[in-house]
Structure 1
Amino acid sequence: MGNLNVIKLNKKRDKANYIYHLSKDIEALDRMINEDLIEKAPIRIGAEQEFCIVDNAFLPNNNAIAILKDIDDTHFTTEIGNYNLEINLDPIELETNCFSKMHTQLITLMEKAKISAKKHHSKIVLTGILPTLSLKHISINNMAPIQRYYVLNDAVKESRKQDFNIHIKGVDELNLLHDSVMLEGCNTSFQSHLQMNPETFVEDYNWAQAIYGPILSVCTNSPLLFGKELWSETRIALFTQSVDTASKFIFT
């Protein structure tokens, strides 16, 4: 979406210009809804698959950019950690064998990733949180060398006005004070997308909220973080505390 050349807004004039353009975006959306300009059919599905890159000892391998260049496929993109990558699948019409098509494309693209990773003495792993992650892997030195991630880090830190205070209690308890948003680099996932008809958006949103609990209960994939056994799905607490601009959370 657009280009990825971002800068931190420091001057009041730049911030005011940003708010102006943001307001125009909202006005444009409002007009599209009122004038029936949003596509209603066909309905499509899509998905993202994030994955970890590890060495032969299954430790995070800090070479995502090199592997991305070798893959040379626009379906792939970076994540905040230089040991993660993401696949964006093509949108597919929601009909007949659409899920089989999605599965086939995902397997094909994952195979490309495996082949390129092998060239760089690496493997790929699908997991919610890589169990072998340690504190040294979430330093800013392991952030993907992309401008927007550094801007994000600076902006969130400035908004919070303090370091990231992580407190998650499960079977074990984790208390951690960290100085960057690289905590978010611990999380990977498979995210499915469903196109919505604007006329039924409220109803669709409500049923999505109603079913997300049961769906989450069968998708848990991150019980371990930094050697601690926490939630069955620790990504929830970790994501909230690592990117939210509120100052303090305690999750038990």
Structure 2
Amino acid sequence: MGQDVRTDGATREDHERYRRKVRLGLDALRRMLTDDAFAVAPPTMGLEIEFSLVDRDRQPAMLNRVVLEKIDDPAFTPELGQHNLELNVDPRPLAGDELRGLEDDLVAKLDLAERKAADTGASLVMIGSLPTLRAEHFDPRWLSSNVRYRRLNDRIVAARGENVRLSMDGSPMPGQGSSERLRSLHDSILVESACTSTQLHLQVAPDDFAANWNAAQCLAGVQVAIGANSPFLLRKALWHETRIPLFLQSTDTRPDELKNQGVRPRVWFGERWITSIFDLFEENARYFPGLLPEVDDEDPIEALEAGRAPRLAEMRLHNGTIWRWNRPVYDVGPTGPHLRVENRVLPSGPTVVDLLANAAFFYGAQRALTSPDRPVWTQMSFQAAEENLSAGARHGFDARLYWPGIGWVPPEELVLRRLLPMAHAGLAELGVSARVADRYLGVIEQRCLTRRTGSSWQRAAVAALEGRGLDRDKALTGMLGRYMELSATGMPVHTWAVDL
């Protein structure tokens, strides 16, 4: 969930200094954008993949510290819960056969990590929401030891002033006419540890950022509809991509009264198309109070005047506590300062191939959508894009999504008729080889033709096991065991049979 912090508490003076430094960072960013002070680079992708740990009985294994010691690779880091890990993949160009090389690298790295984790009795699972989690796994004692997570938990719970409340109505299981409901209360944000994601980064030039962000917003609903992998939470069959409402509700700082006033949530789609990355950072400062008021000793204006790229530490930390589904990122790398779009809507898994197919589709379609003379977001309301995200997450392939020139259509029709050809064209513009594009976009095509996602497979598998007389707990455990076996084969999810 972001960088570490150094202190345990904050005074009123800390908050005031932090707010001033965030504003000063905005002034520095504005000057940098005006002066064209950013590194120039070819399209570069980055990747973060989150995992759950399970024991031999497929139950959550609260062992991330021990597993990380065994893996002994700085690319793997802890996440919010002690059953969570994250893999940070070094940035690389998109062009040529890089995606195919990334697939080989990921498979090798994950195979090695799995062998090391096995020494502790644990296994890594790439899945959007671990189905065997129970309420007792959300006790605050299972927070990772990172100071940042504990401070976030304390600040969010204090700001809310009441327990975290989960309230979701699901999409009906196969063969059922009615949907299941979840209503539960929790005393920490640890319920968010049930969300394990894939985060896609794309480095872009400042002048291109707004178009790329707007395009990513247009694609969000399609992405979750065809890539859903999070159907179960606390024994309930809920949304196809339950991460979407779960992340919102688990980190919500607003009691009902503030929601009724229209106060914005910190997990946020946004409210308008943008013309500059500055719009997003300025909204962050205007709408959201600081949660972790850590103040750096750098003066960003002095750094600029001395010819150095400023860290903008407060602005970046503040940005890290506002969880936009497409987040702006400012960073300073070996070649200087740069900007990235961080796409956060996708779940983890089910396989490396599926994960990279999702990435190829996103990068290709995003690129194509930034090219036309009349961008799609000028023909589509922002509200329609947000409604697409909700519909795609809740219903998967059973959703109806809006797209200009087509109207309300099923996700597979939108992808096959319109977006898949655009993704092929976009990848070609990015210099991705035709062989690699065909490999990964072919997975998306077959997924649409079979209407099979990780979520639809999980739901069908649990329904089949329950049809044989198993209760929900045993069905979830049995499904997860088979899921892990099939994921280990590396075969994409559209090829998986429900043969438990």
Q: Smaller-chain TM-score range?
A: over 0.9
CA shift at 1:2, angstroms? 9.6
What is the distance in 2 between the residues matched to 1:20 and 1:109? 43
What is the distance in 2 between the residues matched to 1:80 and 1:172? 27
Instruction: Using the TM superposition, name which of 13-22 and 80-89 deviates more.
Output: 13-22
2:71 partner amino acid: I
SS of 2:90's partner is coil
List gaps (5 residues or longer) in structure 1. none
Check conservation: 1:46, 1:89, Cα contact below 8 A.
yes
Matched, 1:161 2:169: no
Check conservation: 1:89, 1:105, Cα contact below 8 A.
no
CA shift at 1:104, angstroms? 2.1
Check conservation: 2:164, 2:185, Cα contact below 8 A.
yes
Matched, 1:201 2:181: no
Q: 1:245 aligns with which of 223, 243, 253?
A: 253
CA RMSD of aligned residues (A): 1.9
Q: Deviations over 1:150-179 (max 9, x none)?
A: 100011111111111110111210011111
2:23 partner amino acid: S
What is the distance in 2 between the residues matched to 1:57 and 1:236? 28
1:163 partner amino acid: N
Match of 1:178 in 2: 186
Match of 1:219 in 2: 227
Matched, 1:76 2:84: no
What is the distance in 2 between the residues matched to 1:179 and 1:2? 22
SS of 2:182's partner is strand
What is the distance in 1 between the residues matched to 2:10 and 2:163? 20
CA shift at 1:189, angstroms? 1.7
SS of 1:52's partner is strand
Check conservation: 2:189, 2:250, Cα contact below 8 A.
yes
Match of 2:348 in 1: none
SS of 2:204's partner is coil
Matched, 1:232 2:240: yes
Check conservation: 1:7, 1:151, Cα contact below 8 A.
no
Match of 1:48 in 2: 48
Distance 1:20 1:9, change over 3 A: farther
CA shift at 1:8, angstroms? 4.5
SS of 1:91's partner is strand
Instruction: Using the TM superposition, name which of 158-167 and 25-34 deviates more.
Output: 25-34
Match of 2:484 in 1: none
What is the distance in 1 between the residues matched to 2:12 and 2:143? 29
Alignment of 1:9-158 (within 5 A): 9-158=9-158
Q: Deviations over 1:119-166 (max 9, x none)?
A: 101111111101110001111111111111110001111111111111
Distance 1:21 1:105, change over 3 A: farther
Check conservation: 1:50, 1:190, Cα contact below 8 A.
yes
Matched positions, count: 251
CA shift at 1:105, angstroms? 2.2
Instruction: Using the TM superposition, name which of 60-69 and 8-17 deviates more.
Output: 8-17
SS of 1:217's partner is helix
CA shift at 1:39, angstroms? 2.0
What is the distance in 1 between the residues matched to 2:2 and 2:143? 22
Match of 1:189 in 2: 197
What is the distance in 2 between the residues matched to 1:2 and 1:56? 30
SS of 1:121's partner is coil
Check conservation: 1:82, 1:142, Cα contact below 8 A.
yes
Q: Deviations over 1:62-93 (max 9, x none)?
A: 11001111211111111010011000001001
- TM-score normalized with structure 2 length: 0.48
CA shift at 1:3, angstroms? 6.2
Q: 4+ residue stretches of structure 1 with deviation over 6 A? A: none
1:162 partner amino acid: E
CA shift at 1:27, angstroms? 2.0
What is the distance in 2 between the residues matched to 1:155 and 1:219? 33
CA shift at 1:28, angstroms? 2.2
What is the distance in 2 between the residues matched to 1:159 and 1:40? 41
What is the distance in 2 between the residues matched to 1:14 and 1:167? 35
- TM-score normalized with structure 1 length: 0.94
List gaps (5 residues or longer) in structure 2. 171-178, 260-389, 395-500
SS of 1:90's partner is strand
Bigger radius of gyration: 2
Task: Indicate the percent of aligned positions where both proteins have the same amino acid.
Answer: 34
1:87 partner amino acid: L
Check conservation: 1:153, 1:181, Cα contact below 8 A.
yes
CA shift at 1:108, angstroms? 2.2
